[in-house]
Structures are given as C-alpha cells and as structure tokens.
Chain A
C-alpha cells in the first residue's frame, strides 16, 4: 500500500459528460502529480501541484483541469469527455516540490471508460 488513495477506482460515463477524480496523497506529502495511462499514448504526465500551487504542466488538455486543496487532496476534472479520454488516471505524491529522492508514490489509479 503506497498510502496514496484514489477514488473512484472505476467510472463509466458517456461522451460529453464531466467527471471528477479525487486523490489523497500520502500523509506529509506536499506534491501531487497526475498521469494518464492509455494504450496508444502510454504514461503521460498531466500536471503537478505543490502545496496548493500549480508547479508544472504537461500534456493536459484544455478540457481538463486540476486543483489541490488546503488539506492537500487533489481533484482532476475532465469535461466534454470524448471516447479517447478513456484511460487509467494515476495520482502520485512526493514529499516536496522537488522530490529529492526522485521517488513518486502512486495510487492504484482511476479507470475511466467513456462510452
């Protein structure tokens, strides 16, 4: 158990809809990262938050947004969903904004299926 909790584990929705994925980092970790894992694109970095502030942005679509709350949990909002958004969405956490040990701790992921 990595200590990172993601909900929901599975989600099925229709095109055009909006969903919210939630992540609770390990106790004491200030940074949260979101990754998307799809069959054709592999594991792609979406965005990083550190202590409530956006730290880095990757290949995140404009239809997607994220935030980190004062209690350090994070939410990834996906809107106007398309079939191609079907993927496994991972959250990971690390202690600081700059993971000195390089290690990220991953949750079990949220499997999103868009029909």
Chain B
C-alpha cells in the first residue's frame, strides 16, 4: 500500500519569504502522479501543482514549484514570495496509475504566512 508522509505539522514564515514543505512517499509502482493540494479556511481542496512521475523536469506554477526526487521518493513544495493568501493546510497526495486510482493523502502541513 502506498503511504505519504509530511513530517512538518506546522510552519510559519513572514510574508515575501520563501518556504519549503516536505513530503515523502512509499510505493513500489513506477507510474504515478504526485500532487500538492491547498485547503484554506474555506476548507475547499484546491489543486496547487501536479507532477507526473515519468517526467524528470520539476513542475512549476507561478510562485509554486516542486523538487521531485524519484529515487529518494521525495516531493517537496517551494512557495516563493509568500503571500498572506497562501495561509492554509497543504496536503501532499499520491495517485497510482494502476489499479484503483485513488488519491492517498499525507497528514498535512499547516502553513501560516505572517504580515
């Protein structure tokens, strides 16, 4: 079974700083997706960024980028120039492309951006 681990329950940075959230996962599969979802106080799950495992190039979406290390099974999220609106719970998630394609989530990291 796949597992996703986020070792940082909480993080706090100042506005405009850069912050990196950690995520590791465990799988024996070779074809999968990795995701970062954001859950603001409104509680809706919002996709931040997606990475296909077969792609070596790290995904980037504006201020959000990932460091995908497939051999190490590591998938960290970097937020540059952090903004107050980035305050939220961030969940790392894994989806296997074989069998039941369900999202497996980590426990989440509560990120607070301070003014």
Identify the A interface with B (CB < 8 A): 2, 33, 35, 42-43, 45, 48, 55-58, 88, 90, 92, 98-99, 101-104, 106-109
Contact = CB atoms under 8 A, between A and B. Distances in A.
Interface of B: 33, 35, 37, 42-47, 50, 52, 91, 95, 97, 100-108
Nearest to A94: B101
A109 B44 contact: yes
Contact of B43 (A2, A35, A88): A88
A79 B37 CA distance: 30
B53 to A, nearest CB: 10
Contact of B105 (A2, A33, A43, A102): A43
Contacts of B37: 106
Contacts of A92: 45
A59 B45 CA distance: 20
Contacts of A56: 100-102
A58 B44 contact: no
Nearest to B106: A42
Contacts of A99: 95, 101
A103 B50 contact: yes
B47 to A, nearest CB: 6
B104 A45 contact: yes
12 contacts: A2-B46, A33-B102, A42-B108, A43-B108, A48-B100, A48-B102, A56-B101, A56-B102, A98-B101, A101-B50, A104-B103, A109-B43
A95 B105 CA distance: 21
| Candidate in A33, A102, A106, A108 with the most chain B CB atoms within 10 angstroms | A102
Contacts of A90: 45
A108 B33 contact: no
B87 to A, nearest CB: 18
